Amino acid sequence: MLHDAGMAMIYQVEEGGGPPPASPRLKEKTRQPFGERTVGVTRFYSAAAAGKTVSRLIEVWRDDRISTRDLCRIGERWYNIQQVVPAADEDGILVTRLTLEETDGSAWEGKYVDSN
């Protein structure tokens, strides 16, 4: 699969410095080109049964550091990572498939820090 749909930035949530209640901050973990996958009916209804929504299913090159505790930003949109599945694509290349749920992003605006 071609990963030509755009760039996905993955952020890890860090505890804010200072006395409680310190607000969390985001640190960029990785950025990768991604390909869009089709959200299947089974995945859609399984998420709905658990009270979740599935906004997108994307595929990036294999990265075992990505977890469901991370957040994904594509363009100006923010997503909670609902599921991380290591897999191989149709050519046998190792990939990671991410099931994403869109969030309004207001909790994270201006709270991400540079990866450098």
Q: Report yes or no on 115 lying in a domain.
A: no
Q: Report yes or no on 112 lying in a domain.
A: no
Cα–Cα distance measured from residue 47 to residue 112, given in angstroms and rounded to the nearest whole number: 28
Q: Report yes or no on 73 lying in a domain.
A: yes
Measured CA to CA in angstroms, residue 16 lies from 44, 70, 72 at distances of 34, 15, 19
Q: Report yes or no on 55 lying in a domain.
A: yes
Whether 45 shows a pLDDT value over 60: the answer reads no
Q: Report yes or no on 111 lying in a domain.
A: no
Contact 27, 11 (CB under 8 A): yes
- The residue range of the domain holding 84 is 6-14+25-105
Q: CATH number, domain at 31?
A: 2.40.10.270
Q: Report yes or no on 20 lying in a domain.
A: no
Q: What mean pLDDT value characterizes the chain? A: 83
> Smallest Cα–Cα separation from 32: which of 5, 53, 52, 67?
5
| Predicted TM-score of the model (pTM) | 0.79
Q: How many distinct structural domains can be found in the chain?
A: 1
Summarize pLDDT for 52-97 with one digit per residue, the tens: 677 899 999 999 999 999 999 999 899 999 999 999 999 999 999 9
